[in-house]
């Protein structure tokens, strides 16, 4: 059995392959356009054209009627420039722990938990529904100096030191200064 290639089929394949290569190379390169600018416009965004390199100040204040009418969609909402979008606050925690002989209590575990604003007494049953923020160990000097990031809604913390012989729980109100200082 001797198989000889058919010259017609080979010629047809060569022509097809040549046309395919020519069509692909003609499509590459993206054409000769050299303008790389992007122009997008929308109904609510003004088109600003800058012809020089000076800084352009755009006023985003709403029209007067938008301030007095109810918004029908989120694109019509206006927020005062002084509005704070943060939903958290940063609290600095400074705790000092000493044993009954007034020596630094090193390596003591301190638990910091969030408690309900209505709790004012350590005997309140709601105190058991605390939400643990963190556990931290005191250093060799009996000190803890950390910074916590908590939700804005946190107003009261429960500090608990896990050591015998000293008062081990305290309720702490988080003030405007966001500083928690306590000596056990």
What pLDDT, in 10s, does the model give residues 80-96? 777 777 788 899 999 99
Domain extent listing, the chain: 88-183
Q: Which residue has the higher pLDDT, 184 or 42?
A: 184
pLDDT of 145 above 70: yes
Q: Which CATH number fits domain 88-183: 2.60.40.4150, 3.40.640.10, 3.30.70.1890, 3.40.50.11540?
A: 2.60.40.4150
Instruction: Please give the average per-residue pLDDT across 111-130, as a whole number.
Output: 93
* Contact by Cβ (8 Å): 147, 156: no
Q: Which residue has the higher pLDDT, 49 or 41?
A: 49
pLDDT confidence of residue 82: 73
**Gap between the Cα atoms of 99 and 174, Å rounded:** 26
pLDDT confidence of residue 142: 93
pLDDT confidence of residue 164: 80
pLDDT digits (tens, 9 = 90+) for 2-45: 556 567 777 777 778 777 777 766 655 555 555 554 444 445 55
């Amino acid at each position: 059995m001797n198989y000889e290639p058919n010259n017609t089929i080979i010629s047809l394949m060569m022509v097809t392959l040549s046309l395919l290569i020519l069509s692909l190379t003609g499509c590459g390169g993206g054409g000769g356009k050299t303008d790389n600018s992007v122009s997008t416009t929308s109904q609510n965004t003004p088109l600003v054209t800058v012809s020089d390199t000076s800084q352009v100040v755009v006023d985003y204040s709403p029209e007067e009627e938008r301030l007095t009418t109810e918004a029908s969609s989120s694109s019509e909402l206006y927020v005062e420039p002084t509005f704070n979008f943060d939903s958290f606050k940063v609290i600095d925690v400074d705790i000092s722990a000493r044993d009954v002989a007034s020596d630094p209590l090193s390596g003591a575990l301190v638990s910091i938990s969030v408690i309900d604003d209505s709790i004012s007494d350590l005997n309140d049953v709601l105190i058991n529904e605390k939400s643990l923020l963190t556990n931290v160990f005191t250093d060799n000097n009996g000190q803890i100096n950390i910074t916590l990031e908590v939700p804005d809604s946190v107003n009261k913390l429960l500090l608990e030191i896990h050591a015998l012989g000293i008062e081990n729980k305290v309720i702490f109100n988080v003030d405007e200064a966001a500083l928690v200082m306590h000596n056990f």
